[in-house]
Amino acid sequence: MKRARQINSDTQGDVYVRVPSGNLKINYKQMKKSPLIIIFYLLIQTALKASSLDSISTTYNDGEFITYCQVWVNASDTVCSAVSKTYDYQVRYNLDALFPWALKGMNLRKEKNELMMFYFKSTSFNKETSVLRGIGDVVVPGVITIPNIYVDCKLTGNPGNTGKSTVYLNMLSSNGFIKNMKNSFSIIPIKNKANWFVLETHVRFGWFFNIFITQNRFKIIMEWRLKRFIHNLKDEAERREKKISVSSKQ
């Protein structure tokens, strides 16, 4: 887990701000004399505090896109686990219920997109095998349409458990769109009413889409959707936490 960058001072009164390129040294005596330096110092603290919390990055290696996304959630372990459990149940048995919150704004119902459109139609779940089947269309306007793509994934993990929990979704067989995919979603409690949500996705596309989806296009087509998804879960957890807080004060 990535840790927040630190701001330290030494015995000489110098302040060191840790930035990606190293430590930035600021003389404390000069800080006291110059309001501009003080403002600059405060801006750095604010920026580093924000950047140390939420992050998303994608790397590409030998045909595989690996996206890592983490967000800080101001909600209790119990609430975060309940959100995970709700998502897990609905993705198995009630896909339409996810669109108003977990899949909100992700453009998965054939909304217009400059490069690619998705139509996530349905899911079904086999309790005996723990296999989740998703069905949908993929459209590259004016180029190719692949209707009724079946994606079978093994769904395992411990959604709804308090404490650290991880859910895994691993693709079992390739299709014309995706060659291979594996995902994990983790809830990591940090302190009272604060958790990390961490989403890690590995995906290899079929031969045509492997050529069509460049690293820049991946950000436009996929990465923003992964970011939106994890932020949707965060928003739901914080909404529930706020509702509990308001109820307890009444």
The domain segmentation of the chain, as residue ranges, is: 7-51, 55-249
CB contact set of 42 (below 8 Å; sequence gap of 6+): none
How far apart (Å, rounded) are the C-alpha atoms in residues 233 and 75?
11
CB 108 within 8 Å of CB 96: no
CB 153 within 8 Å of CB 171: yes
CB 66 within 8 Å of CB 201: yes
Reduced to 3 states, what is the DSSP secondary structure of residue 99? coil
CATH fold of 55-249 reads Alpha-D-Glucose-1,6-Bisphosphate; Chain A, domain 4 (3.30.530)
How far apart (Å, rounded) are the C-alpha atoms in residues 250 and 246?
7
- For the chain, what is the total number of helices (H) and then of strands (E)? 6, 11
Is pTM, for the whole model, over 0.85? Answer: no
Place of tokens 């045509």: 208
Q: Encode the chain (250 residues) as per-residue pLDDT tens digits.
A: 444 433 344 444 554 444 444 444 555 555 555 555 555 555 555 444 444 578 999 999 999 999 999 999 999 999 999 999 999 999 999 999 999 999 999 999 988 767 899 999 999 999 999 999 999 999 999 899 999 999 999 999 988 777 899 999 999 999 989 999 999 999 999 977 899 999 999 999 999 999 999 999 999 999 999 999 999 999 999 999 999 988 777 6
Reduced to 3 states, what is the DSSP secondary structure of residue 89? helix
